[in-house]
Amino acid sequence: MGTSTPKVGLIMGSISDWKILKGASKILERFGVCYEKRIVSAHRTPDLLHDYAKGAKGRGLEVIIAGAGGAAHLPGMVASMTTLPVLGVPVPSTYLKGIDSLLSIIQMPRGIPVATFAIGEAGAENAALFAVSLLGLSDPVLSDQLVAYRNDLTQSVLEASFPEDE
């Protein structure tokens, strides 16, 4: 999280969402991206949601990752209050395994876009990588780090071997 101005906001609807969203924080830290994390509930703290979204750009944020489960209104509500890119991460729910969250986040009305990622940990990590990619458009160091990360992924696949038969 560092001492410089956060570029990424990492928000979630409740503390229980952290087990999914912490993967995003690890990716951001791996790339040295300064971020802030907060619990901002669309339903329980609507005034905080309003203040957070309206003040995000003024605080220096360039992108917001918003994770939510169930009704999952957080990403869309944030997107309705800022022109910053909002990356929505559906958090798996108890009963519908996150399909409800996915459908809520992906079905935004025309004019209020939310980039929507996969349900769960993979979605959280990919949202963070997408944030790094967006920031890399104006930061060649980040862009180069992302290229190296992708090259490492490629190399790990090329070097993979099957375990010896027992």
Q: Write out the chain's pLDDT in tens, 166 residues.
A: 445 999 999 999 999 999 999 999 999 999 999 999 999 999 999 999 999 999 999 999 999 999 999 999 999 999 999 999 999 999 999 889 999 999 999 999 999 999 999 999 999 999 999 999 999 999 999 999 999 999 999 999 999 999 987 6
Domain boundaries, the chain: 8-159
Paired tokens of 70: 């169930």
Picking from 48, 72, 49, 80, the residue whose alpha carbon sits closest to that of residue 120 is 72
For the 8-159 domain, the top CATH level (class) is alpha beta
Q: Is-contact 45 71, C-beta < 8 A? A: no
Binding-site annotation, residues for substrate: 14, 17, 44
The CA distance from 6 to 19, in Å, is: 21
Known binding positions: 14, 17, 44
pLDDT on residue 22: 98
Give pLDDT, residue 2. Answer: 46
What is d(CA 37, CA 89) in angstroms, rounded to the nearest whole number? 14
Q: What is the pLDDT of residue 1?
A: 47
What's the predicted TM-score (pTM) here? 0.94
